[in-house]
Chain A
Amino acid sequence: MRIFLILFFCGTIFASCSSVIPTLSFDNVGIVKSNYPDFTKEDFILARDAFITRCSGCHNLPSPKTHTKYEWKALLPEMLNDSKATENEKELITKFIISFSKN
């Protein structure tokens, strides 16, 4: 069993070097703002938090880069309804994911 513990902690330390979910930074807020000019730093914090809370409740979080913005626009409405997200959360999550989606 010791080998499992060692593998688990080595793997997670290795994985902790970067997150596939964009974190709060001047550049990242700017990326969302380029699509949605009214989007603020506070919106970014709320959007990221809502994305983590709502989406991880049903499945492990995907990277926004797993789909194009057109694919996300087709996928998101039903999933966000299932997650019982509020209208404001749905809007923020959609803007957040689409801004970091695959080109």
Chain B
Amino acid sequence: MIHQKNSNSPMLYLLALILFAFVFANTSISNERKFSYTYESNVLPKRVREIEIWNTSRIARSYFFRRLDQRVEYEIGLGNNLQTAFYLNLTNELKDDNGVTAGGSISRKTNVGFSNEWKYKISDNVADPIGFALYSEFTFYPHETEYEGKLLFDKKIDNTLFALNLVYELENKYDFKNGIEVKSQENIFEIDFGASYSFTHNFSVGLEAVNKNSLLENKINNSVLFLGPSISYSTENFWVVATYLPQVKALKGATSGNLNLNSYERSLARILFAFEL
């Protein structure tokens, strides 16, 4: 049995936005990234605008679970080391609605949301001893609001770029059960690390690690480590970066061998594609 909770109209919005972006794109290089999960400290110069298209797949838990997150980001450099961005978010999730309890049916959920990001660069990863930027993002879905704050550190040494992010995320979820509105809150702390080596000025290969921690009453409830390769390529027309991150270890809260497959996926994969307007 399949529960269709939303129509396909969000996909039409997404396609329309991508088509609009292509029509107005020119042929210049933009703020290229070497990682798809770990952020770098650089920001767009004043008046420079960019479109980024995100696709993230989250596949396989201890029960049937498949999810695709898609985002279209419009990024603008405001000058004075400040940039902002607006996102249209679309998520598609297919899963066993009983979760880890056997005997469920398959449910499908589609959600559309909006995000706004602000990034302020304080120091540069080449000119200064260390690159550093502050990052803040607010996301709104009808059933959920998220606030995300990040400290972004990075350093380029010769052809190698190192980046480290410390991330805090607060999620408020809203549900309606038996005529009563139910609100729940989740606190997440995440550490992202990436190292990437540039073989040429436009081709890099690297490694990314993502450590996700969920907090309950200020203590770490679950902690998992994802680790995998990333690859990036840029031309004068566009840049693209892709990362594959299998879960390698549950540091706390293992459910299947040394992994946590009740709350997290067996593997994550993300591809970003971007061009300047």
Residue positions of A touching B, CB distance < 8 A: 1, 4-5, 7-8, 11-12, 14-16, 19-21, 48, 52-54, 56-61, 63, 78-79, 81-85
Contacts and interface: CB of A to CB of B under 8 A. Distances in A.
Interface string B40-73: 1011111110000000000000000000000000
Name B's interface SS: loop
B90 to A, nearest CB: 28
A57 B130 CA distance: 16
B47 A60 contact: no
Contact of A61 (B28, B126, B225): B126
Contacts of B209: 1, 4
Contact of A85 (B29, B45, B201): B45
B129 A16 contact: yes
Interface SS of A by simple majority = helix
B161 interface: yes
Contacts, number: 94
Contact of A58 (B32, B153, B155, B157): B32
Nearest to A1: B211
A20 B77 contact: no
Given A4-B191, A21-B126, A59-B201, 8 more contacts: A4-B164, A8-B164, A8-B193, A12-B162, A15-B155, A58-B30, A60-B125, A78-B28
B43 A57 contact: yes
A81 B201 CA distance: 19
Interface string B177-205: 00000000000000101000000010000
B127 interface: yes
A15 B129 contact: yes
Given A8-B164, A58-B30, A84 B126 contact: no
Interface size on B, as a range, is 35 or more
A8 B38 CA distance: 14
B101 to A, nearest CB: 32
Interface in B118-168: 124-130, 153, 155-157, 161-162, 164
B162 A84 contact: no
B164 A56 contact: no
Given A4-B209, A58-B30, A84-B47, A52 B153 contact: no
A19 B155 CA distance: 11
B124 A52 contact: yes
Contacts of A11: 155, 157, 162
Contacts of B193: 1, 4-5, 8
A53 B120 CA distance: 12
B276 interface: yes
